[in-house]
Chains A and B, each alone.
Chain A
Amino acid sequence: MKPHPASAAAQGLLNCHSCGLLSKNVPNASDRCPRCGTHLHMRKPNSLTRTWALLIAAFILYIPANLLPVMHTASIIYEEDDTIMSGVIYLWTSGSWPLAILVFCASVTVPLAKLIALTILAITAQRKSTWRQQERTKLYRMVEFVGRWSMLDIFVVALMVGLVHFQSLATISAGPGALAFASVVVITMFAAMSFDPRLIWDPEPKDDD
């Protein structure tokens, strides 16, 4: 529908990130900016590979993040290990449905949705699909935006650990699940960063040609 858009990559041109100098690409070599020496690349290097690697790591860590306890509560009366899901269930059964839904969304659904979204983006980019490119770009922007808000749980646990520390009376400490969960969130953010959204649009000329 649209005329073929011109892109720097199609012209064989590179833009330096540091000094903004435009330079010509030398094929089959690692390019450097002729002015400041910064690494130059047409697209984020190994974007898909990195995205895939980080995605797989995030998927793997997602399992312990949900199965292992994120918070260990010890008081004189009882000791308890809470996983994310047990917390959600506790909130739900104790009547705090809005809070339960919020925690469930923020801690279970959103990270998973992010992972699935990134996977879809990576798959389509790999297959050089031209399917709903605009929506995919929008999706990517959302993923990148949401990323920093997924650490809610970790913030709660960190706060609790810091606040509730009455030695013999009651102590809260972070469980191994918290580490896994934090890793999932961070790795997902890196995965989103390493994904080059330009790849979504790259296949177009090919299709049109």
Chain B
Amino acid sequence: MTDHPQNTPPQSPDEEQVPTAKAVPKRRLPSLIWLIPIVAALAGGWIAVHAYLQRGPTITITFETADGIEAGKTKIKYKDVDIGSVTGVVLTDDRQHIKVTAQLAHATDDLLGDKTRFWVVRPRISGGSVSGLGTLLSGAYIGIDPTRQASSKRDFTGLEQAPIVTTRQAGREFVLHAQDMGSIDVGAPLFFRRVQVGEVSAYKLDKDGKGITMKAFVHAPYDQYVTTNTRFWHASGVDVTLDANGLKIDTQSLASIAIGGIAFQAPPGQDMAEAAPADTQFTLASDRITAMTEADRERAPFVLYFRESLRGLSIGAPVDFRGINIGEVKAINFEFSKEEHSLLMPVTIDLYPERLRGRLKGGDEVVKTDTMRIKILNTMVEHGLRAQLRTGNLITGQLYVALDFVPTAAKASIDWKQFPPSLPTINGSLTQLQDTALSIAKKLDSLPIEAMGDHADEALRNLNVVLDNSNALINRLKNEVAPEAQNTLKQAQEAINQAKQTLSPDAPVQQNMNDTLQEVAKAAQAFRDLSDYLSRHPDALLRGQKEDAK
């Protein structure tokens, strides 16, 4: 403004009129304006340093699919707290998976380790529970199960399903071996005295395909109830038992009927053993009764040589000692004995000594050593302990192996040198029955049935003659006697008819008879009068009747 070009000549205005500015000594201070960029630099620097310091680790996670994952939007949450977000989603080089790059928050390094697991949280319905409903609105997020031991691992493989049990949950995990899955799935509940105390966390088919190995997680503080002698069984569905007390229906919970479940408990009557360490292996029985009877950690195999048909004996058939199930049939074979030149049927059985031990007085101490056990068994065999096949079910013909004392049995002993040792056997009850039937048949066979037949034949012939005679007699009777009899009967009929006419009430004879009888009655009356008079006047007989003096 003041310096815009002027056309005035370049001379100063009137020097006299222009006052001189008041001079104040100059302050030589550094300009305060520089504080502004310094403050800005400090602020910017602080923001940068803060951002750098607050920057957490960058990780990559591989997933099967990027369903619901969005770069810049999807969060990584731990206990529902945002600890990071997805910064990029790309396909892997082999185009089989997707790789998610995520930036985690500051100080999350200790969450990352070899065992850290990531999964995408989506709405999920399983195990009788519904989870991740919030993600219906907010979209999926990535869940994290942090590790206890941090490591420098930064590349992870994500799980396709949320883990049932996270590392930081207190409790212990146990391994269960089962024949089949039943209706159990991951997340199926675990019951202890009908209290839900855990879940099935994983399962996999055994490599040989002969069973299922499951992992079951029991939450603290219930994990202390899993002891070394605990039994596990399938609690799926309804257990119906019919016993002396009537029909009993048993189930763990309504949910377990639908989704299955596992129950565990120590066998009743046994003391609480010490708590089982994590990853202890247990067998999962099919039901409670099996679980409670089964204590087959200790097996004593024996072989039984039978000389009879094994039809009806199946693998798994019980070995019974006076009603107590103490073992089961493991294998049925076929063997040719050179010495005896005969076929033998070796049946391998497993005896579970533990089942007998509890019932033996001071059991544990006595049967602990092998030599003691051998001694006891030898004594028992000496007293007649024999194995025998018995019919368990008359309808189906199922057999079981019974061990019992048969005092009449021939002497035998156990050969402990061979393995498995063989227990002496006797023929089964069915075989004995067959023997008896056979002997009866033999006796029947020896009877003179043919001669008896001849005699009978003759007798029959005689009888025939007799019958013929009687037949002729009857014919004669029919032809000769019958017509005469008929005539006689006719005449008799006539006679009867005549008699009837004579005796009818309107017949003349009858009339006359009546009149006569009336006359007789009158005569009798007169006679009575006379006799009366005479009794009162006997003299009248002499003097005649007196006139009445009235």
Contacts and interface: CB of A to CB of B under 8 A. Distances in A.
A26 B20 CA distance: 7
B10 A23 contact: no
A106 interface: no
Interface string A2-32: 1011111111111100000111111011111
B23 A29 contact: yes
A23 B20 CA distance: 5
B123 to A, nearest CB: 14
Given A6-B10, A30-B24, A57 B19 contact: no
A22 B18 contact: yes
Count class of interface residues, chain B: 35 or more
A58 B3 CA distance: 30
A201 interface: yes
A61 interface: yes
Nearest to B15: A24
Contacts of A129: none
Query: Binding site of A, secondary structure by majority: helix, strand, loop or mixed?
Result: mixed
B234 to A, nearest CB: 43
A54 interface: yes
Nearest to B6: A6
A56 interface: yes
Interface string B1-34: 0111110111011000011111111110001011
A64 B8 contact: no
Nearest to B139: A78
B31 A50 contact: yes
Contacts of A100: none
B138 A13 contact: no
Contacts of A80: 73
A54 B10 contact: no
Interface stretch (A33-41, A107-115, A143-151, A153-161): A33-41
B21 A11 contact: no
A35 B23 CA distance: 13
Given A50-B31, A53-B36, A24 B18 contact: yes
Contacts of B44: 60-61, 63-64, 180
Given A5-B5, A12-B12, A64-B44, A31 B36 contact: no
Contact of B23 (A22, A31, A76): A31
B315 interface: no
A29 to B, nearest CB: 4
B195 interface: no
Interface string A82-107: 00001000000000000000000000
A interface bracket (residues with beta carbon within 8 Å of B): 35 or more
A37 B22 contact: yes
A198 interface: yes
Contacts of A187: 36, 40
Interface string B27-64: 10001011011011101100110000000000000000
Interface in B114-172: 137-139
A35 B4 CA distance: 25
Given A13-B12, A21-B19, A29-B23, A7 B2 contact: yes
B137 A77 contact: yes
Nearest to B137: A77
Given A6-B8, A53-B36, A31 B21 contact: yes
A30 B23 CA distance: 6
Contact of B25 (A11, A22, A29, A61): A29
A12 B37 CA distance: 33
Given A4-B10, A60-B44, A34 B20 contact: yes
Contacts of A23: 18-21
A26 B73 CA distance: 66
Contact of B21 (A2, A4, A40, A50): A40
Interface in A129-188: 176, 180, 183, 187
A2 B20 CA distance: 31
Given A10-B10, A34-B20, A61-B44, A78 B73 contact: yes
A68 interface: yes
A53 B73 contact: no
A89 B425 CA distance: 90
B26 A78 contact: no
Nearest to A51: B33
A49 interface: yes
A49 B33 contact: yes
Interface string B354-366: 0000000000000
Interface of A: 2, 4-15, 21-26, 28-35, 37, 40, 46, 49-50, 53-54, 56-58, 60-61, 63-64, 68, 76-80, 86, 176, 180, 183, 187, 194, 198, 201
Given A31-B23, A57-B37, 15 more contacts: A5-B6, A6-B5, A8-B2, A9-B3, A10-B10, A21-B19, A29-B25, A29-B26, A32-B21, A50-B33, A56-B40, A57-B39, A57-B41, A78-B138, A80-B73
Rank and list the top 6 A-B pairs by shortest CB-CB distance, nearest first: A57-B40, A5-B5, A31-B21, A57-B37, A29-B23, A26-B23
8 contacts: A7-B2, A26-B22, A28-B26, A30-B25, A64-B48, A78-B139, A86-B72, A201-B3
